[in-house]
Amino acid sequence: MPIDQKPTAAEIAAAEAAMAHAEGESVRVPANPTHKQIVAVVGAALTLTCLCWVGQVPYYFGTAFYQEQFLALTLGLAIALVYNALDRHGKPHRTFSPIDLTAGFAGFVAASWIAYRWDVLLMDVSYRTPETLVLSGIMVLLVLEGLRRATGWGLLCVVLGFFLYATVAHLMPESLRGKPQNPEGLLVYLAFDPSALYGTPLVVGSTIVIMFIWLGDLLVRSGGGEFFKDIAVAMMGRRRAGPAKICVVGSALFGTISGSAVSNVASVGVFTIPMMKRAGYTARDAGAIEAVGSTGGQLMPPVMGAAAFLMAELIEVPYAQIAIAAAIPSFLYYFGLYIQVDLIAAKGRFERLNETIPIVREVMRDGWHFLVPFAVLLFTMFFWERSPEIAAISSSLTMFVVGMIRPYRGFRLVPGDLFGSLSSTGRSTTDLFMTLAAAGFVIGVLNATGLSFALTLILVKLAEANLFLLLIAACGIGIILGMGMPTTAVYVLLAALMAPSIIEAGVEKMAAHMFVLYIGMLSMITPPVALAAYAAATISKAGPMETGWAAVRIGWVKFVLPFMFVLAPTLLMIGKPAAIMYDAFTATFGVYYVTVGIVGYFQRDMSPSTRVLMIVAGAAAFLPDSTIGLFIPGLVSAIGLLVGGAVLVYEYVTQRRVALARGPAE
- 579-588 confidence digits (pLDDT tens): 889 889 999 9
Closest CA to 569 of 630, 495, 508: 508
Q: Answer yes or no: is pLDDT of 122 > 90.
A: no
> What would you report as the CA-atom Rg of the chain, rounded to the nearest whole angstrom?
26
CA 279 to each of CA 273, 322, 352, 413: distance values in angstroms, whole numbers, following the listed order: 10, 38, 7, 36
- Centre a 10 Å sphere on the Cβ of residue 646 and count the other Cβ atoms it contains: 12
Average pLDDT of the residues in 49-63: 90
Among 97-111, 166-180, 368-382, name the one with the lowest average pLDDT. 166-180
Looking at residue 626, what is its pLDDT? 53
- Domain spans in the chain, listed from the N-terminal domain onward: 1-574, 576-666
3-state secondary structure 269-304: HHHHHHHHHHHCCCHHHHHHHHHHHHHHHHHCCCCC
Tell how strand 604-605 and strand 601-602 pair up.
Answer: antiparallel
The helix (H) or strand (E) run that includes residue 140 is: helix 130-151
Do the Cβ atoms of 274 and 318 come closer than 8 Å? Answer: no
Do the Cβ atoms of 209 and 432 come closer than 8 Å? Answer: yes
- 479-535 confidence digits (pLDDT tens): 777 765 677 778 888 888 888 888 888 889 999 999 998 888 887 888 877 788 888
DSSP state of 606: P
Give the up-direction half-sphere exposure of residue 575: CA atoms within 13 A in the CB hemisphere.
17
More confident residue, 414 or 255: 414
Phi, psi of 408, deg, nearest 5: -150, 120
Predicted model pTM: 0.83
Q: How confident is the model at residue 404 (pLDDT cuts 50, 70, 90)?
A: very high
Do the Cβ atoms of 301 and 327 come closer than 8 Å? Answer: yes
- 127-142 confidence digits (pLDDT tens): 888 999 999 999 999 9
Looking at residue 24, what is its pLDDT? 37
Looking at residue 152, what is its pLDDT? 83
Closest CA to 411 of 470, 367, 346: 367
Phi-psi domain of 648 (left: phi exceeds 0; alpha: psi -120 through 50; beta: other)? alpha
Distance CA 219, CA 416 (A): 15
Distance CA 52, CA 132 (A): 28
Q: How confident is the model at residue 367 (pLDDT cuts 50, 70, 90)?
A: very high
Q: Which long-range contacts (CB under 8 A, 24 or more apart) does 117-120 make?
A: 118/66, 118/68, 118/69, 118/72, 119/66
Closest CA to 614 of 628, 629, 627, 598: 598
Task: Tell me the residue length of the chain.
Answer: 666
Taking each helix axis from N to C end, the angle separating 327-348 and 556-567, rounded to the nearest 10 degrees, works out to 150
Distance CA 87, CA 440 (A): 24
- 262-292 confidence digits (pLDDT tens): 777 877 788 788 888 888 889 999 999 999 9
The DSSP secondary structure of 493-510, one letter per residue, reads HHHHHTHHHHHHTT--HH
Do the Cβ atoms of 204 and 463 come closer than 8 Å? Answer: no
Q: First-to-last CA distance in the chain?
A: 32
Per DSSP, the chain holds a count of helices (H) and strands (E) of 34, 2
Closest CA to 619 of 647, 584, 646, 592: 592
Task: Name the maximum alpha-carbon separation found in the chain.
Answer: 93
